[in-house]
Structure 1
């Protein structure tokens, strides 16, 4: 279980995350929603320890994450994988090598520095690409891929870390509707088939209601909603989205949020 207690992050006089408390059981798929600047990305970066908290603490299965340093912190970041909005791939490297980067914490330092991958590591990486129907792209340079393909490569890289939790920071922000479905279905399958906990920042309430079994809403860094997607009513939407609430709720009416079948699933 992930436990967040009184987590706060200040940047000078600005409070990006303000005394957030959460408990997330293993295997959950949690959507973190709210307007831009609400603190969603900062919250995930705090959990992964890419940002340091100003106050509060983070625990995973009873072990405190907040004070980890050195090797222990690297191990935590392997167990708590990040998927970024901007993909964070090396465009000049081929797809397979980009995925193999997720194995760095599993190999000796001398091998990782020289990129000496074992046959077993290559097999794991290829299996992850096959899982997301992109194994045929293994030899292509990442910069030649579409946005949806690059994000699937990034998710495959996260999967080969063998994580216990995946933090996805606006993974569909730059994608078209078709690739949005493909990427969200990839995350949903990881959650369902492997039991990996997923925390996913989403700007779209429509998508959040379609794929997440729980929503956590932030406004100005504070937790203002925590519950099932169907429990998000107009009052909660106003606290989250202000004057945009009516438009957001209209776009996410029941019946509009059901995703269409994706070609990605047809190949699996």
Structure 2
């Protein structure tokens, strides 16, 4: 379980996140929603310790994450895998090598520097790519792929870290509708097939309602909504987003279509 207690972050005089308290159960798929500047990205970056909290505590399975330093912190960042909006791949390297970089934290420093991948690591990386129908692209340069394909490579890289938690920061923000569905289905498959907890920032309320089993709404750095997707009425959404509500309440495919297809994929993978 992930426990966030009184988490606060200041940038100078600006309060980006203020006294956030959350309990996230194992195997949950939680969407963090809110307008731009609400503190969503800062919250996820603090959980991964890419951003240091000003106050508060993060606990995962009874371990105080905010106290970690050195190698213990590097291992935590592998366990709490981050997926970014802009993929963070090395474009000139092939797809397989980009995925294998998710194994660096498990390797001795000499092997990490020389990238002397073991046969086991390569097999794990190819298996992760195969989960998302990407194994055939393993030899291609990462920058030759479409945006949706690159994000699936980034998800495969996160998966080979063997994480207990995946933190996805606006993973579909730069994707078209078709690739948005592919990427969200991939995250849902990981959640349902492997039981990995997913905490994802989303801009679209329709997607959040369709894929997530819980929504956390943020405004001005504070949690102002925490509940099931069906509890987030249009009236609550308008209060949360204000003038932006019309932009984020898109009309998309029905939730059962998206979810059933992703779960079918998970069943096939099993």
Both proteins in one fold, TM over 0.5: yes
Matched with 1:85 is 85
Instruction: Please give the per-residue CA displacement for 1:177-225, whole angstroms capped at 9, x wherever unaligned.
Output: 1100100010000000100000000000011111000000001111000
Matched with 1:38 is 38
Are the counterparts in 2 of residues 27 and 195 from structure 1 also a CA contact under 8 Å? Answer: yes
Matched with 1:154 is 154
Are the counterparts in 2 of residues 209 and 252 from structure 1 also a CA contact under 8 Å? Answer: no
Write the distance in 1 (CA, Å) between the matches of 2:153 and 2:99. Answer: 7
Instruction: Please give the per-residue CA displacement for 1:94-120, whole angstroms capped at 9, x wherever unaligned.
Output: 000000000011111111110000111
1:26 CA drift (Å): 0.5
Q: Give the aligned length.
A: 265
What's the TM-score once normalised by structure 1's chain length? 0.94
Instruction: Please give the per-residue CA displacement for 1:148-184, whole angstroms capped at 9, x wherever unaligned.
Output: 0000000000000000000000000010111001000
Write the distance in 1 (CA, Å) between the matches of 2:251 and 2:66. Answer: 36
- Segments of structure 1 that go 5 or more residues without pairing to the other structure are none
- Segments of structure 2 that go 5 or more residues without pairing to the other structure are none
SS in 1 for 2:87: coil
SS in 1 for 2:67: coil
Runs of 4+ in 1 over 6 A off after TM superposition: none
Whether 2:194 is the aligned partner of 1:194: answer yes
Matched with 1:230 is 230
1:7 CA drift (Å): 0.4
Write the distance in 2 (CA, Å) between the matches of 1:259 and 1:35. Answer: 27
What's the TM-score once normalised by structure 2's chain length? 0.93
Matched with 2:241 is 241
Write the distance in 2 (CA, Å) between the matches of 1:244 and 1:115. Answer: 46
Please give the residue correspondences for 1:118-129 in structure 2 after superposition, counting only pairs within 5 Å: 118-129=118-129
Matched with 1:67 is 67
Write the distance in 2 (CA, Å) between the matches of 1:252 and 1:165. Answer: 30
Are the counterparts in 2 of residues 205 and 252 from structure 1 also a CA contact under 8 Å? Answer: no
Measured on the aligned residues, the alpha-carbon RMSD in Å equals: 1.9
1:247–1:108 Cα change, 3 Å:
closer
1:229–1:114 Cα change, 3 Å:
same
Are the counterparts in 2 of residues 210 and 259 from structure 1 also a CA contact under 8 Å? Answer: no
1:233 CA drift (Å): 1.8
Are the counterparts in 2 of residues 93 and 142 from structure 1 also a CA contact under 8 Å? Answer: yes
